Amino acid sequence: MTSLNSFQHQILIAMPSLEDSWFEKTVIYLAEDNQHGSMGLVINLPHKLSVAQLLEHFKLEIQTDSPELENSVLMGGPVDVEHGFILHKGDANWQKSMELPDGLSMTVSEDLLKAIAKGTGPEKFITCLGFSGWEKGQLQQEIQDNSWLTIPYNESLLFDVPIESRWEVAIRTLGISPENLSLDAGHD
């Protein structure tokens, strides 16, 4: 269960203070934020693999010509990069799925990859390798230190905006021009 102060199901936007770090200009969907810590997936750092290449790596026969298979797999974060996570629309009726708000689910099981290869998977999905994690209170401190901005969940940003434009589009949803961002903290 999440508290009123939870950032779960929100989007984090990296601020200029994260320049020259792994998180420079990243946009993260926050899947969990609770008393144990926080977990999210970077949604704008493409991996060299496409979804089709990932399926081939798992020796799954591709039985569809869906254009989604040409999408890049994303680097979800620097933690556990050998494990995959799929954010998708629709039911969490796969072997290892977590239901999230707004009809979104996160799945970590191969049965969903098999369905995608057959063309029977969800219409909208993004595939990530690794995740981003924070210990209890760490993310809240980083937000207080002006490392991240937060915006409400935005389905279009997650699935429709081109990967290379997601950081700028996310910033602009706040009415801010990226070139006007400051390194100075704006919190009390």
Residue 119 belongs to what H/E stretch?
none
pLDDT digits (tens, 9 = 90+) for 34-58: 999 999 999 999 999 999 999 999 9
**Per-residue confidence at 187, pLDDT binned at 50, 70, 90?**
very low
| 103 within some domain | yes
| 46 within some domain | yes
| 17 within some domain | yes
Please give the pLDDT value at position 156.
96
Strand partners, 32: 39
Please give the pLDDT value at position 182.
63
| 187 within some domain | no
pTM value is 0.92
Report whether pLDDT(142) > 60: yes
Domain tally for the chain?
Answer: 1
Full domain range(s) for residue 110: 10-180
- What CATH number is associated with residue 132? 3.40.1740.10
| 159 within some domain | yes
| 4 within some domain | no
Name, in order, each residue with C-beta under 8 angstroms of 117's C-beta and a sequence gap of 6 or more: 55, 60, 61, 62, 63, 64
| 5 within some domain | no
Is 51 strand, coil or helix? helix
The answer to whether 18 and 24 are in contact (CB under 8 A) is yes
